[in-house]
Structure 1
Amino acid sequence: MKKLLVTAAILTLVGCSKVNIENYNKVTVGMDKTEIEAILGSADNCEEKTLHTNCIWGNEDQHIKVTLVSEKVTLYTQKGLK
């Protein structure tokens, strides 16, 4: 019974992910990082480079990647979203 409840909780959380095609389609070039976070929540990982920052929401199979320059979106891609 306990296993069933844990499994149901995990499936509920996965189903509520903000990493989906609808939210990806809301992202636009020039958007502020705070605007993206309002749509997708906090990034799962951000890597700061010399002139830009790469952030990813999701995992290796299903994600949204955004490149930011001066906290503004300059490039964004997705993988595995339907």
Structure 2
Amino acid sequence: MIKRVCFGLLLLLLVACSKITAENYQKISTGMSRIEVVAVLGEPNSTESASLLGIEGESAVWQNGDLQIKALFVNQKLWSHTMVK
């Protein structure tokens, strides 16, 4: 029983400390470097990348419950981003 309570409290603490929030989404803007975005949102939950003719592209997704943030980077710079609740 104590283990379940401790696990539940730990899980609640981790969710409460998440960087993936609407407030942090407002802090990112087009043109920011990937490093700057990760400093605000943390590492993405998933990424996909490709390169062609010297142009590098990466799509990244951050997920926290029902909140999802998607970003597209071109040559390590934020090109577009969206948030879905």
Give the TM-score taking structure 1 as reference length.
0.88
Once residues 54 and 60 of structure 1 are traced to their aligned partners in structure 2, the CA distance between those partners, rounded to angstroms, is: 19
Greater radius of gyration (CA) = 2
Superposition pairs for residues 1-82 of structure 1, below 5 Å?
1-50=2-51, 52-58=57-63, 61-80=66-85
Superposed structure 1 runs of 4+ greater than 2 Å apart? none
**Cα distance, 1:60 vs structure 2:** 7.3
Runs (5+) with no aligned partner, structure 1: none
| Residue type at the aligned position of 2:42 | G
| Residue type at the aligned position of 2:82 | T
Deviation per CA, 1:26-77: give whole Å up to 9, x if none. 0100000000011111111110134521001115732111000011011100
Aligned residue for 1:19, secondary structure, equals coil
Deviation per CA, 1:11-35: give whole Å up to 9, x if none. 1101111000110000100000000
Runs (5+) with no aligned partner, structure 2: none
Percent identity, aligned pairs only, is 32
Once residues 38 and 17 of structure 1 are traced to their aligned partners in structure 2, the CA distance between those partners, rounded to angstroms, is: 12
In terms of mean alpha carbon deviation, does 45-54 or 66-75 score higher? 45-54
Once residues 65 and 75 of structure 2 are traced to their aligned partners in structure 1, the CA distance between those partners, rounded to angstroms, is: 26
Give the TM-score taking structure 2 as reference length.
0.85
Aligned residue for 1:38, secondary structure, equals helix
